A and B are shown apart, each in its own frame.
Chain A
Amino acid sequence: MSAYSRTPAPPVRAAKGLVLLLCCAVVVLPFVAVVATSLAGQRQINAAGGYVLWPSPVTFDAYRAVFAGGVVTRALVISLLVTTVGTLLSLTCSALLAYALSRPGSLGSRPLLMLVLFTLLFSPGIIPLYLVVRQIGLLDSHWSLILPVLINGFNVIVIRSFFLDLPRDLLDSARMDGAGETQVLWRVVLPLSKAVLAVVGLFYAVSYWNSFFSAQLYLNDAADWPLQQVLRTFVVDNSTMGVDNTALAGELPPPQQAMQMAVLVISLVPILLIYPFLQRHFAKGVLVGAVKG
């Protein structure tokens, strides 16, 4: 065993373990409380003073009421659509742009690369960007949530540095075999770059899913809002959620607290679903590689 990896003294180990356990608890406990409360009934919530850590009995009334209300369902559909369409478009445009910039010495690639790099230095400013979006008629359209953030310069640079590291011989031999430019890109480059495309795609997806300010800035009609905006009004600003009583067939509506937590859980689920994939890839040092470049 090397000198470095020698196991430290027991008190040191205990202290480290305690610190890490505390860190993990601080991260995990809020989620546990949120999920548990969303599944708890009125009586238990009242008895516990608002929040529970273990629901008993488990009830899905809060979710039923939330989905029956219509507002959250509509926002969820909007968020899913914007995220899917946005991610596909972002990934396609970013990958194509990155490929176009990945052949040193090609016509215009240097100035274009500079234009992309400079976007990392400054942000366009809220007011002028708002005016551009309004000028081209995107206000109150869901495209305003996608087009202004379609290209993230950093992501383009990440993909580009991956393309640059692909073995040149491979691309050259494909060309020798008579593959056209489109085929080289489609059959050789993109299949070899699945890992980086997956990471960048996931990052785009997370940012589309999470953004709330574009909706606040560009969409006036609350009926157009994505989930994060709805979450904000119900859970952060504590507006009372309307309950469609016909759907409950005469029963008492579920506690407001449980419904708020249910909306929170609904907005969490997609992130938790893709998190394992995200995690598998970002550990591969894709980001680090980009910073090095």
Chain B
Amino acid sequence: MALLEADRVAAEKPPRRDPATPTWRERFRRDRFLLLLAVPGMTVVLLFQYVPLLGNVIAFKDYQPYIGIADSPWVGWSNFGVILNLDPAFLTALANTLIISFLQVVFVFPVPIALALLLNSLVSERLKRLVQSVLYLPHFMSWVIVVALFQHMLGNGGLVNAWLRSKGMEGFSLIGDPELFKAVITSQVIWKDTGWGTILFLAALSRVDLSLYEAAAVDGASRLRQLWHITLPSIRGVIVLLLILKLGDSLTVGFEQILLQQRAVGVDASEVLDTYVYNNGVINGDWGSSAAVGLVKGVIGVALVLGANKVAHIFGERGVYSR
């Protein structure tokens, strides 16, 4: 028996192999506990992140719900017609998306930087922490709540209008006006996420070597020059990183936020790519071309992130990831 056992062990471990590198089987035996732990999480990731990627084949099919994905006929690129033929509804959605993205980069992105600089310049730590805890709060509110608050504060019958009228002044019409819709959603984003957006900048600012300011002050640099030559360069990396993420995301703008308010302002002012896919596909049942739009949007989105990151590398920044 003992001999057989020894034989079996010898057969399992061929003598010529370098003993430092374990075989697959040994690695599996060693790590099977870890692999087991990964199973539930990975199952969910595969099922709800990767399987839907395969589901994008319906962009090339005439998908009919009652016969299923597999049996629906292939139609080549014809679903992409809405994009290639510049379908007006698609163009509206694309234009709105790009305009809103542009507004967000120009008007939303700089606000947390300014606020972070202001907070960082406070001498009193307690005041700083108090202000922070107030300003972070809106980030944790749902879009339903934010939209509801805006309607009830700034709407035609809202608090501000009621107050103006009670003082004999004329009210204003802001919420529900298609012309002003993009300004409204931009200010909603500012209200909700400015405070939260300061976190990363404040973290970067807290790592600045204070002796730099001492030296600058000794050399007679004014506060503004200190800001320009010490403070801003020290958060440049974070700014670039977040700008990259923002640009990479520029085809995705406030889906829940816009969907909630679409009924009031109409499709022309508010349709963006994501709502177009939802309204056209899930609501109107035009599965194929909606999936095509969604697919193109996804591919361009990934390309944008990778491209923006590449640009950051060229400019000598670390970017989102580095090789």
Task: Please determine whether chains A and B interact with each other in the same assembly.
Answer: yes
Looking at the complex, which of B84-92, B97-105, B177-185, B286-294 is the stretch in contact with chain A?
B286-294
Residues of B within 8 A of A39 (CB): none
- Please judge, given known A-B contacts A119-B45, A288-B203, whether A271 and B55 are in contact too, CB under 8 Å: no
Residues of B within 8 A of A109 (CB): 31, 34
- Please judge, given known A-B contacts A4-B213, A213-B256, whether A107 and B30 are in contact too, CB under 8 Å: yes
B47 to chain A, nearest CB (A): 7
Residues of B within 8 A of A31 (CB): 149
Measured in the bound complex, the distance between the Cα atoms of B217 and A33 in whole Å is: 46
User: Which of A34, A121, A132 lies in contact with B48, CB distance below 8 A?
Assistant: A132
Looking at the complex, which of A57-65, A242-250, A275-283 is the stretch in contact with chain B?
A275-283
Measured in the bound complex, the distance between the Cα atoms of B200 and A281 in whole Å is: 15
A269 to chain B, nearest CB (A): 12
User: Count of chain B residues with Cβ under 8 Å from any Cβ of A?
Assistant: 96
Measured in the bound complex, the distance between the Cα atoms of B33 and A185 in whole Å is: 11
B315 contacts the other chain (CB 8 A) = no
Q: Which of B89-127 contact A (CB under 8 A)?
A: 115, 118, 121-123, 127
Q: Which of B38-63 contact A (CB under 8 A)?
A: 38, 40-42, 44-56, 58
Q: Which of A27-41 contact B (CB under 8 A)?
A: 27-31, 33-34
User: Count of chain A residues with Cβ under 8 Å from any Cβ of B?
Assistant: 91
Closest to B241 in A: A291
Closest to A230 in B: B144
The prevalent SS among residues of B at the interface is: helix
Residues of A within 8 A of B69 (CB): 131
Residues of A within 8 A of B256 (CB): 212-213
The prevalent SS among residues of A at the interface is: helix
- Decide: A127 and B166 in contact? CB cutoff 8 A: no
- Please judge, given known A-B contacts A100-B34, A127-B277, A128-B58, whether A236 and B151 are in contact too, CB under 8 Å: yes
User: Which of A7, A30, A271 lies in contact with B153, CB distance below 8 A?
Assistant: A30
Measured in the bound complex, the distance between the Cα atoms of B12 and A268 in whole Å is: 63
Closest to A185 in B: B37
- Decide: A48 and B34 in contact? CB cutoff 8 A: no
- Decide: A211 and B142 in contact? CB cutoff 8 A: yes
A93 contacts the other chain (CB 8 A) = yes
Residues of A within 8 A of B56 (CB): 125, 128
Closest to A108 in B: B35
- Decide: B45 and A151 in contact? CB cutoff 8 A: yes
- Decide: B34 and A99 in contact? CB cutoff 8 A: yes
Residues of A within 8 A of B44 (CB): 93, 147, 150-151
B159 contacts the other chain (CB 8 A) = yes
Closest to B190 in A: A26
Measured in the bound complex, the distance between the Cα atoms of B152 and A209 in whole Å is: 22
B53 to chain A, nearest CB (A): 6
A128 to chain B, nearest CB (A): 3
Q: Which 3 A-B pairs have the closest CB atoms?
A: A97-B41, A128-B55, A3-B217
Beyond known contacts A127-B287, A235-B144, A260-B152: 12 more, CB 8 A cutoff = A30-B159, A34-B152, A49-B165, A50-B162, A51-B162, A107-B30, A107-B35, A125-B298, A132-B52, A210-B141, A264-B148, A268-B145
